Amino acid sequence: MSHARKVLLSSLIGSTVEWYEFFIYGTAASLVFGDLFFPEFTPLVSTLLALSTFAIAFVARPIGGVVAGHFGDRIGRKSMLVFTLTLMGVATFAIGLLPTYDQIGVGATVLLVLVRLIQGFSLGGEYSGAVLMSVEHAQASRKGFFGAVVNTGAGWGLLLANLVFLIMSQLPDDDFRTWGWRVPFLLSAALVAIGLFIRLRVAESPDFQRVKSAGEVRKVPVADVLRHHPVLVALVCLAYLSAGVTFYIGTVFSLAYGKNEVGVSQSTMLWLVIATNVLTIAAIPYFGWLSDRIDRKRIFLAGIVGMAVLPYAWFALLGTGNFTLMLLGFVILFIPYAANFGVMPTLFAHVFPVGVRYTGMAIGYTLGTVLGSGLAPIIAAFLLDRTGSWPAIALYMSGVGVLSYVAALFLRERPAVPEPASSVALPEVR
């Protein structure tokens, strides 16, 4: 196996572990955390509060992105990826040991929020570093494919999280709520050990090594990004929104929506999400491969159009309660998501100069996750509560799509070569 492929495998496995740990929280928040950590409220309010703790992690992600980006551009990508994976593992394992509200009262909620913030901090620095390690090791003709494969880590992580929860949900309800929900969190220790073993065995990014050898490492990358590239940060943030909103409404909010509004079982919704993830895991690399042959930005824009138009069909099919029709709804919504998300890593990686690439990408992406991913399940639950039906949620998804489309129009990839630190490149548009 070539070293580039070893790097790709290490990034994919590490990313999968990070996302698994992140998503088991989202699944638990939708299914049990409302009762376990917010039992003093109505079921709807408890669910909203549990989803709020899910969203809290997104507030910490930009901070993690800034810190990891700074050191990733200063001392290298590899060291930051080892750090973020270790931190995520410790936080996730700790959740599996937390006492509940019935045991220590509000202190349980405080501890839950604290470890969730640590999870968010970790993931904020993980994504950009994993993408850059793979894309920067890849040949020019395979960068789109390599970046897309890393992006399947989110799908693999969610698939693994839902499979584990599906198995545990077969327990009697009392056992699941007493100890069964803890098992997915405790299992993360083994996954982290595997991820660290692989990550420690790969070499540093060649692009970073060239910048370092040339003496062009930036002293304060975040200051450089905010001074010279703030428009690019904002464009990356907005361009991401549609994918984030689609994914988290489709995979997190839908669990509670299907159970409470459509009346289907918890296991049915989990199977639908699992099937959807199998689809995206296969489709995302295809679109990445395709982007090495045709214009990447066109694929990215086409995906946004689909995510803005198709939520209406998705909700209508979801409302039938028929498994086959519900699955069809997920398929038609997540094909354009796969197209957009498949080309996103390589497109975003080449928006910024090499010397500030980690920092710039991390800030823009993580800010997008705050505005899009983290708030999406809460906004969807709020709109459902206020209107009593789904059209307002679909309109919200369409509006976000318009914002992302306009922002993406102004993104432009830079040549995949190092640029000197002395060059002050203003945001480029076309």
DSSP 90-104: HHHHHHTT---HHHH
Confidence at residue 11, expressed as pLDDT on a 0 to 100 scale = 84
Q: Is the residue at 371 inside a domain?
A: yes
Rounded to two decimals, the pTM is 0.81
For residue 101, give the CATH number of its domain: 1.20.1250.20
Domain annotation covers residue 280: yes
Dist. CA 53–CA 98, nearest whole Å: 15
Q: What are the residues whose beta carbons fall under 8 Å from the beta carbon of 401, sequence distance 6 or more?
A: 242, 304, 305, 307, 308, 309
Q: How open is the CA angle 239-206-413, to the nearest 5 degrees?
A: 25
Give the span between the Cα atoms of 5 and 141, in whole angstroms. 14
Kindly tell me the burial class for residue 149, based on how many C-beta atoms sit within 10 Å of its own C-beta (0-12, 13-18, 19 or more).
buried
Residue 417 is assigned to a structural domain of this protein: no
Q: What is the domain count for the chain?
A: 1
Q: Are 381 and 323 in contact (CB under 8 A)?
A: no
Residues 6+ apart with CB under 8 A from 91: 21, 115, 116, 118, 119, 122
Residues 6+ apart with CB under 8 A from 51: 29, 30, 252, 253, 256, 377, 378, 381
Instruction: Output the pLDDT for position 9.
Output: 84
- Rounded to whole angstroms, the Cα distance separating 413 from 144 reads 12
Answer whether residue 342 is part of any domain: yes
- Kindly give, in sequence order, each residue whose CB lies less than 8 Å from that of residue 298, ignoring residues fewer than 6 positions away: none
pLDDT in tens, the chain (430 residues): 577 788 888 888 878 887 787 778 877 877 777 778 877 776 667 767 776 777 777 788 888 888 888 888 888 778 888 888 888 888 889 989 999 888 888 888 888 888 888 988 888 888 888 888 888 888 888 999 999 999 998 888 888 887 888 888 788 888 888 888 899 889 888 888 888 887 787 777 777 777 777 777 777 888 888 898 999 999 999 999 999 999 989 988 898 899 889 989 878 888 898 899 899 999 999 999 999 999 999 999 999 999 999 999 999 999 999 999 999 999 999 999 999 999 999 999 889 888 888 889 989 998 998 888 878 988 998 999 899 899 999 999 999 999 999 999 999 987 655 444 433 343 443 3
Please indicate, yes or no, if residue 423 is contained in any of the structural domains.
no
Task: Please check whether residue 425 lies inside any domain of the structure.
Answer: no
The answer to whether residue 234 is domain-embedded is yes
DSSP 181: G
Domain-embedded: residue 341: yes
**Could you tell me the residue range of the domain that residue 351 belongs to?**
3-409
